[in-house]
Structure 1
Amino acid sequence: MRLLSVFGAATALAFALPASAQLTGGEPLAVATTYTVETGVLDGESRKITVRLPTGYDKEPERRYPVVYLLDGGPDQDFEHIAGIAQSRDMNWSFAPFILIGIESVNRRKELSPPVADPKPYQEFLRATPGGSPSYRRFLREELKPLVEASFRTNGRDAIIGESLAALFVVETLLEEPTLFDDYIAISPSMWWEQMKYGKQAAAYFARHPEGDRRLYLTTANEGDWHREGTERLVDALRASAPDGLAWTFVDAGESETHGTLYHPMALDAFRLLFAAPQREYKSYPLIGGPEVGERTPEEQARADTECTLENSRWTTPGAASRGRARLYYECLLYDLGPRPREGTLGQ
């Protein structure tokens, strides 16, 4: 009855408004800026580049940030929902801020796809001629990345993220040109491509990798056929032959996500892992069932006075912290949030 009365009050209020009443004088909410970039590499075409700068970018003029390049990142593509994840860190501080660069795809099935031996079956299946990925990498390397670095306060660390066919581009780039980015986020990559070529040949690619520290976040959903098998072959190569400088993780979301639902939760998981931000455990207050808050011990005070950095923080999970909270008060921690990886070396 109480619930009905609340609805009744709301309804009465609505009926009391004049029939012509409407909201006026609204202001648009701008979360990013879109630029048009001319390119001589991609057949002289232009591209829309949408940029989200971290909150407070203008207030800290000396601070520099990593950059995340988002494939299929046009204003009407994946930019808005990934930008929402980037904004969420302002609420929960679970990862460090970064500059988000959304790159609009014009014909993704052409420009993001690797070359093939026989284009005909792909033309019939995809209704596009594949093979544009080498030119697209050249566009990123020679035109877009230098432009971004000249325009914004970047810190020299770059990541690339993509899903499905765009994730195949991420994997192919890691194999073909590993120095182009530092971090690679491949969400449900189309590893069926060319009868699983990039899974089958990954070990040979890894054997030619130059020295350098790089990271790979790999995940897949309830994929079947060569999509899944190709990914497993890549994981096999990572397990047996990953270069010394490549830290990697494979999150198997096959029991909980589909190809259509995977992107958003796994992008959040990737950002939390790759851009982990140190946090602390604090004592609860008696009001919510915590202990009486007394004077800190000298050891606790020393922890609280120490600035948390990536170097002096240690990994743990929220579950482990809840079971041993008393020994973690004021310690610098990196939380391994989200789904558990099936295997890998990243975050260990």
Structure 2
Amino acid sequence: MRVILSLAALLLATPVSAQLTEAEPYVLGQTYTLESAILKEGTRKITVRLPAEYDVEPERAFPVVYLLDGGPEQDFAHIAGIAQSREMNYSFEPFILVGIQSVNRRHELSPPAADPAPYEEALRATPGGSADYRRFLKEELKPMVEAQFRTDGRDAIMGESLAALFVVETLLEEPALFDDYIAISPSMWWEKMKYGREAGGYLETMGSGAKRLYLSTANEGDWHREGTEHLIAALRLHAPENLTWTFIDAGESETHGTLYHPMALDAFRALYGTPSREYRSYPLIGGPEIRERSAEENALLEQECTRENSIAMTPGTAERAREAIYYRCLLLELGPTPREGNLGE
């Protein structure tokens, strides 16, 4: 015992040569305070992450993704991490991420209810704030973002659970407000599945302007799943030509609590995916012997890749067809396979 104690004392007494420097904060974005005349809880934190290209390409404008429940202590950090990941793998377009803090989300993101009493008892909040929240987005937040940052006129709204119900309701009630709608595990049980059961009527009167919907759900049952299936049935039968959509059923692999992060990445790839190329491997890892590229291969490399001139295929197909597609433009179908929809057709 004395030997062990003596050794411990010796180790504690030995000076450590390497020391950490003074800590520096790691900045994910910039947080602003917006005073709203529309929302009851007027002061709202708005957190913005700009893509790496924003400063180095001063003439370039970018799309905007508006993130519900996007306060600094809410979903902003992990979604910002996904946005940052594209600066390593370039699998989707850069965008400006705008996180919107929720203060009383069960009020401000929820549609009206015919009888609010059961909701007040279960959710401890009075429902029905979604119309004012849309006014806040339309009349206060979006104009401020468009005035202060270089936006290109394309924007998306995204959320999960009750926030995703707000996304669906907004698509149906005011589809012109955004171009892209990302609804991850929406609370389609609301008002006995109202927005699934009545979706067909909304879709038939949607109006013009290209819209896209990314819809996903996990292993939720009851009216959560049934309401989503009602919405999907309405999309099959009544979606106008200007609305393209996709549905990812992650019920075999994700829960309501685990779905958001992987499906957010998949949504960005599905909606904003960028072309890539398949290059020859090096002999060191089993690739072919190095040789000069042919004239045809050089011509392929000189061609700028766009979504329109790219070949759509899965990564597995690209691996098996590698020798036939070297240097060609590819639009890889990354992530889970959609159960149904017409996005990308």
Give the TM interval when normalised to the shorter protein: over 0.9
Give 3-state SS (helix, strand or coil) of 1:264's partner: helix
Q: Residues 279-336 of structure 1, C-alpha deviation per residue, up to 9 Å, x if partnerless?
A: 1111111111111232323322211110112222232110111111111111111111
Per the alignment, residue 47 of structure 1 pairs with: 44
The residue number in structure 2 matching 1:287 is: 284
For 1:303, the aligned partner's letter is L
SS at match of 2:194: helix
CA contact 2:246–2:342 (8 Å) conserved in 1: yes
Distance 1:14 1:279 in 2: 53
SS of the residue corresponding to residue 258 of structure 1 reads: coil
Deviations along 1:201-229, whole A, 9 cap, x unmatched? 11100011111111000000000100000
> Structure 2 matches for 1:8-157, cutoff 5 A?
18=15, 23-43=20-40, 45-157=42-154
Stretches of structure 1 that go unaligned for 5 or more consecutive residues are 1-10
Q: Secondary structure at the match of 1:185?
A: strand
Native 8 Å contact 2:278 2:328 kept in 1: yes
For the residues of structure 2 that align with 1:291 and 1:22, how far apart are their CA atoms?
Answer: 47
- TM-score of the superposition, structure 1-length normalised? 0.94
Distance in structure 2 (CA, Å) of the matches to 1:169 and 1:106: 15
Matched, 1:203 2:200: yes
**Which amino acid in 2 is paired with 1:194?**
E
- Structure 2 gaps of 5+ residues are 1-7
Contact 2:41 2:103 in 1 (8 A): no
The correspondence of residues 139-178 of structure 1 with structure 2, limited to 5 A, is 139-178=136-175
Q: Give the whole-Å Cα distance in 2 for the aligned partners of 1:206 and 1:234.
A: 10
Give the Cα–Cα distance (whole angstroms) in 2 for the partners of residues 223 and 287 of structure 1. 48
Q: How many residues align?
A: 337
Q: CA RMSD in A?
A: 1.8
- Residue aligning to 2:249: 252
CA distance in 2, matches of 1:148, 1:221: 33
Of 96-105 and 52-61, deviating more is: 52-61
Q: Residue type matched to 2:282 in 1?
A: Y
Verify the 8 A CA contact 2:213 2:244 in the aligned structure 1: yes
Superposition TM-score, scaled by structure 2 size? 0.94
* Counterpart in the other structure of 1:180: 177
Deviation for aligned residue 1:192 = 0.1
Distance 2:177 2:243 in 1: 14
| Residue 276 (structure 1) aligns with | 273
| Aligned counterpart in structure 2 of residue 263 of structure 1, from 260, 264, 270 | 260
Q: Give the share of equivalent positions with the same residue, in percent.
A: 71
Contact 1:38 1:44 in 2 (8 A): no
What does residue 4 of structure 1 align with? none
CA deviations over 1:244-271 (Å, ceiling 9, x no partner): 1111000000000000000000000000
Find 1:220's aligned residue among 217, 220, 242. 217
DSSP-derived class of the 1:149 partner: helix
